[in-house]
Amino acid sequence: MVEDIKLISLLRKCFSEDKICMFYRGNFDDTFTDKLISLADYDVEKKAKKRISFLMSESFQNIVRHGNDEISDHTSSLFGIRALEPFLHIFSCNRVSSVDKLFLEEKLGLINSLDKDQLKAYYTQILSEGTLSKKGGAGLGLIEMAKKSQKPIQTEFRKSDNEVFAFNMQIDLIVDDQAVSGLLGNPLAIEENTAMADLMTDRDMIFLYKGDFSDEVITPMLNILEGNTGEEGDSVGFKIYHAAVELMQNVSRHGAKTEKREGIFAIHKTENGYYLCTGNYMANQENELEKYVAGLNAMNKSELDALYRQKLKASVSIPNNSAGVGLIDLRRSFKTVLDFKLTEDKNGSYLMMGLEIPF
């Protein structure tokens, strides 16, 4: 669908300066943390990696800790990371009650007013008081985040329903230890990521990623999607997983190789199902791939089945070669066309590809 695949063009503009960008909107639980950390584990100093892991975990736990089934649903919470050198921005959004809002405003106002030594003393004070209730634990986590990031915690509250508020929080971490402090500039304003959260809600997006598409990155991305799409007991989650594997691997196989195979991957809901799309620069194979996809789109089910068997047999004799089987399988499995659009700019040919998975 032309309108759906245009989403990639919009995301390219939004994240043109990002080294890594990932946003997820959906179900959250404790098993999710390690998958997110693996996805953000890019090339920085060991010291920074430890802080990234801690801050991502705490920011994620903020969503779980303040989660309230009575005022939230599986689409109201969002987590995101953006690497814009020299900063890594960690963003979270979830619904909170008016009582939690008052607690968070008071606690964060105090934390942001304290310097490094005062934060350390305040942390010790809370520990010594021994009042580690749910809110007490949240207070400790917020103090730790401020200590680790060494920047004020950015926050924003927006009223969504009666006595219910969207709580947006952003942690800003300097990940380049060699950066000259006087030349750093200011961190990205939280309003930039709030706008991204609004876009995801408006477009009913579940997941987006911009960055390297090596196997080391694809695996944790797929782990995030597995079990977090579709409803329990149906086949939608498996279908999304299947399509995501093929589309991501297509970026990995055909993407232009510079330092990394960079691309974009996104999923959003449609009236009829889910739409998955990718974008990446091509490695001088765009014309052949365009003709190949056009040929697949022109085939009926029996022709696709016959081609699938033929390609599958051919791939047996060629180690580590799928021989285009993946794209054929998507066409024959979901019976929807593969959307394909090429654009040209100063950096080369940019491919956008997508397909809809019907319910």
Summarize pLDDT for 36-94 with one digit per residue, the tens.
666 665 555 555 667 777 888 788 777 766 655 555 555 678 989 998 888 989 999 98
Q: How far apart are CA 9 and CA 16, in angstroms?
A: 10
For every residue of 163-229, DSSP letters joined together read TEEEEEEEEEEE--TTS-GGG--PPPPHHHHHHHHHHHHHTTEEEEEEEE-SHHHHHHHHHHHTTSS
Looking at residue 112, what is its pLDDT? 95
Q: Which of 165, 55, 43 is nearest to 101 (CA)?
A: 165
CB atoms under 10 Å from CB of 124, counted, come to 11
- Stated as kind and residue range, the H or E segment containing 342 is strand 339-345
**Contact predicate 92/153, CB 8 Å:** no
CATH 3.30.565.10 residue ranges of the chain are 20-203
The torsion of the CA quartet 156, 158, 164, 166, rounded to 10 degrees, works out to -60
Where does the pLDDT of residue 245 fall: very low under 50, low under 70, confident under 90, or very high at 90 and above? confident
User: Which CATH superfamily is 20-203 part of?
Assistant: Histidine kinase-like ATPase, C-terminal domain (3.30.565.10)
Tell me the helices (H) and strands (E) count for the chain, helix number first. 12, 10
Mean pLDDT of 239-259: 79
**Cβ contact 63:169 at 8 Å:** no
- Taking only the tens place, the pLDDT of each residue in 155-171 is 999 988 778 899 999 99
So what's the pLDDT on residue 288? 85
* R_g of the chain computed on alpha carbons: 22
218-359, what's its fold? Heat Shock Protein 90 (3.30.565)
Q: Are 59 and 90 in contact (CB under 8 A)?
A: yes
Name the β-bridge partners of 215: none
pLDDT of residue 233: 52
With b for 16 or more beta-carbon neighbours within 10 A and e for fewer, the 225-248 pattern comes to beebbbeeeeeebebbbbbbbbbb
| Burial (Cβ within 10 Å: 0-12, 13-18, ≥19) of residue 58 | buried
pLDDT digits (tens, 9 = 90+) for 114-156: 999 999 999 888 888 765 555 555 578 889 899 988 899 999 9
Query: In this structure, what are the phi and psi dihedrals at residue 358, rounded to the nearest 5 degrees?
Result: -70, 150
Whether the bond into 187 is cis, omega within 30 of 0: no
> Could you give the angle at which helices 116-129 and 134-149 cross, rounded to 10 degrees?
160
pLDDT of residue 355: 93
Given this model, what pLDDT does residue 307 score? Answer: 94
- How much is the average pLDDT of 16-22? 90
Rounded alpha-carbon distances, angstroms, from residue 325 to 243, 305, 309, 335 = 13, 11, 9, 15
Give the C-alpha distances (Å, rounded to integers) separating 320 from 240, 289, 298, 308, 324: 24, 19, 28, 17, 12
